[in-house]
Amino acid sequence: MQERLEGVGDEDVRHALEAWRIGPAVSLEYSPVGFGDYHWTATAPMAEAAPEAVPAGRKWFVTVADLGSKGYLGDGPEAAYRGLRRAMDAAAHLCEHSGLDFVVAPLRAATGGETVRRLGTRHAISVLRFVPGTPGRYGRPLTPSARHRVIDLLARLHQAEPPASLTVAPSALPHRVDLEQALDDTQDDRAAAWRGGPFGEPTRALLSAHAGALRGRLAELDRLTGKLDGRRHVVTHGEPHPGNVLTLGDRSLLIDWDTVGLAPPERDLWHVAEDQADLDRYAEATGHRPDPSVLAGYRLRWALDDVAAFAVRFRAPHDGGADSEQAWAGLRGTVAWLVSTLA
């Protein structure tokens, strides 16, 4: 996120890091990267020389999650925290016991061994080793060689033994009811204006103009989701798009594992595969030939999930900062795609 998290400061993060035995002298730098979670880089002081202390200059990547915005993990902060714990435990298991060295998993706390800990009532913190790689960017295609590497990684992931903590990834939209209510609202002349912030009324106007098309895409999603019945489930990352790919020399690593879950392989593959050759490469490695209709279903689900999440954001109180600007651009672009690809 470009803007810092309200209610959680550097001292809160520094105090929480003590559970990982990262000392109070650590320096913290806010990292305005990604969208959804909040990140810091923590660095041990160069002068640190105490016995059994962490090496001087060692770095960690710290993530603070807003549990109130993770409806895909559970309804409400407490359920979302339990879902986040299950996901982070699964990622750690894949890294520690499955030989998947491309999984950038959270470190376990020194006191208790947790992969994630509460930070107040609404937030949770996790700590990862700092990897000095080159991050990709969401929406910017991977090179063919990088794409092939990620497909090969997914083939390995999909053949891994599922960790005990892993659950089935839900196929339903987390905010579907909210999206349908928002669409109803845009067609009701008696409904109150969306005045929670500068993007409220523009969002209402955008959804109103395309309400019929969006309802049509929801019906299409229902038809495609029906094709998931009886499908073989494997361990999936959930979001292996370029923004979650870290390049380290000639290697690719996968980050951001809070969406890990059991699902058909197509849940991952639609993010990466660009042509039939990519799908053939995956099929040769795993013996599973991806189903085009299931790929299309997951692609559609992703887009509608974004629209629903942005609609929730802009119906509620919000500001006009950089994160809201990014969300507004994402909403407009996603609605345009949904309308242009309507059959």
Alpha carbons 337 and 55: distance in angstroms, whole number = 49
CB count, 10 Å around CB of 314? Answer: 26
Confidence of residue 49 (pLDDT cuts 50, 70, 90): very low
- Average pLDDT over all residues of the chain: 91
Task: Determine the topology of domain 134-343 in CATH.
Answer: Aminoglycoside 3'-phosphotransferase; Chain: A, domain 2 (3.90.1200)
Confidence of residue 88 (pLDDT cuts 50, 70, 90): very high
pTM: 0.91
Question: Residues 264-280: what's their mean pLDDT?
Answer: 97
DSSP letters spanning 13-29: HHHHGGGGT--TT-EEE
Does residue 222 register a pLDDT over 70?
yes
Alpha carbons 181 and 187: distance in angstroms, whole number = 10
Report pLDDT for 51.
39
CATH fit for domain 1-130, picks 3.90.226, 3.90.1720, 3.40.1000, 3.30.200 = 3.30.200
Are the C-beta atoms of residues 282 and 273 closer than 8 Å to each other? yes
Does residue 123 register a pLDDT over 80?
yes
CB count, 10 Å around CB of 220? Answer: 17
Contacts of 94 (CB under 8 A, 6+ apart): 100, 103, 105, 157, 160, 163, 235, 260
**Token pair listed for 331:** 């909403």
pLDDT single digits (tens) 25-46:
889 999 887 677 899 999 988 6
3 to 35, 70, 81, 203, 319: CA distances (angstroms): 10, 18, 23, 21, 11
Alpha carbons 260 and 93: distance in angstroms, whole number = 12
Contacts of 74 (CB under 8 A, 6+ apart): 80, 81, 82, 83
Are the C-beta atoms of residues 104 and 255 closer than 8 Å to each other? yes
Confidence of residue 56 (pLDDT cuts 50, 70, 90): low
**Which residue, 173, 165, 174, 212, is CA-closest to 335?**
212
What is the percentage of the chain residues whose pLDDT exceeds 90?
74
Confidence of residue 47 (pLDDT cuts 50, 70, 90): low
Alpha carbons 64 and 72: distance in angstroms, whole number = 17
pLDDT single digits (tens) 229-267:
789 999 999 999 999 999 998 999 999 999 999 999 999
φ/ψ of residue 31, rounded to 5 = -115, 105
Question: Residues 135-152: what's their mean pLDDT?
Answer: 92
Report pLDDT for 48.
46
Are the C-beta atoms of residues 283 and 289 closer than 8 Å to each other? yes
Domain segments of the chain: what residues?
A: 1-130, 134-343
Count of residues making up the chain: 343
